[in-house]
Amino acid sequence: MIAIVCVDRNWAIGRDNDLLFHISADLKRFKALTTGGTVVMGKNTLLSLPGGRPLPNRRNLVVSTTLSPREGVEVARSIEEAMALAGEDAVLMGGARLYRALLPRCARVLVTQVDAAAEGADTFFPNLDAAPDWAAETVGEWQEENGLRFRYVDYVRRG
């Protein structure tokens, strides 16, 4: 499993069950990387999507103990069940709780780093720069969209 996440300078990822930034180049990249495959997410992240609907053209696997069955969504009632259903090529797409739970099962994390400090953020990704078992493998060039600087950094598990 790999994880994809967009973080600010402080590794913040969300506020009020929404994203901190809307960078269309990043969303396009996410779509290209996940279309045709399986995405794994927590219930809050599903509910944060437009209309609370699953992402089209992908298998949407949602981890939740409370979510009632709904069209286009496969529900896993535990992390273990999610792992059993997900398959090796699944992409973990958040949110904070799911990242924390499944990061130990990920070999690679594709991070979009935004050069900003979002105000009022309430959800965070673990700081991989401070984690001894993770290393930045490739660091992309800074790019800019609507005045926001961002770059893609791929982290791999050491060893």
Ligand X SMILES: NC(=O)c1ccc[n+]([C@@H]2O[C@H](COP(=O)([O-])OP(=O)(O)OC[C@H]3O[C@@H](n4cnc5c(N)ncnc54)[C@H](OP(=O)(O)O)[C@@H]3O)[C@@H](O)[C@H]2O)c1
The nearer residue to ligand X, 18 or 159, going by C-beta atoms, is: 18
Q: Which one among 34, 38, 45, 60 touches ligand X, defined by CB under 6 A?
A: 45
Residue 101 engages ligand X in binding (rule: CB under 6 A):
yes
Residue 93 engages ligand X in binding (rule: CB under 6 A):
yes
Shortest distance, position 9 Cβ to ligand X, whole Å: 13
Tell me the C-alpha distance between 123 and 20, whole Å. 10
Q: Which one among 39, 40, 43, 91 touches ligand X, defined by CB under 6 A?
A: 43
Shortest distance, position 159 Cβ to ligand X, whole Å: 26
Residue 17 engages ligand X in binding (rule: CB under 6 A):
yes
Residue 42 engages ligand X in binding (rule: CB under 6 A):
yes
The nearer residue to ligand X, 119 or 159, going by C-beta atoms, is: 119
- CB atoms under 10 Å from CB of 51, counted, come to 6
- CB atoms under 10 Å from CB of 113, counted, come to 21
Residue 44: is it exposed, middle or buried by C-beta count within 10 angstroms (0-12/13-18/19+)? middle
Tokens of 118: 């979002």
The nearer residue to ligand X, 66 or 132, going by C-beta atoms, is: 66
- What length is written for the chain? 159
21-40 positions binding ligand X, by CB under 6 A: none
Tell me the C-alpha distance between 134 and 2, whole Å. 13
The interface mask with ligand X, positions 50-69, x = CB under 6 A, is -------------xxxxx--
Residue 118 near residue 12, CB atoms below 8 Å: yes
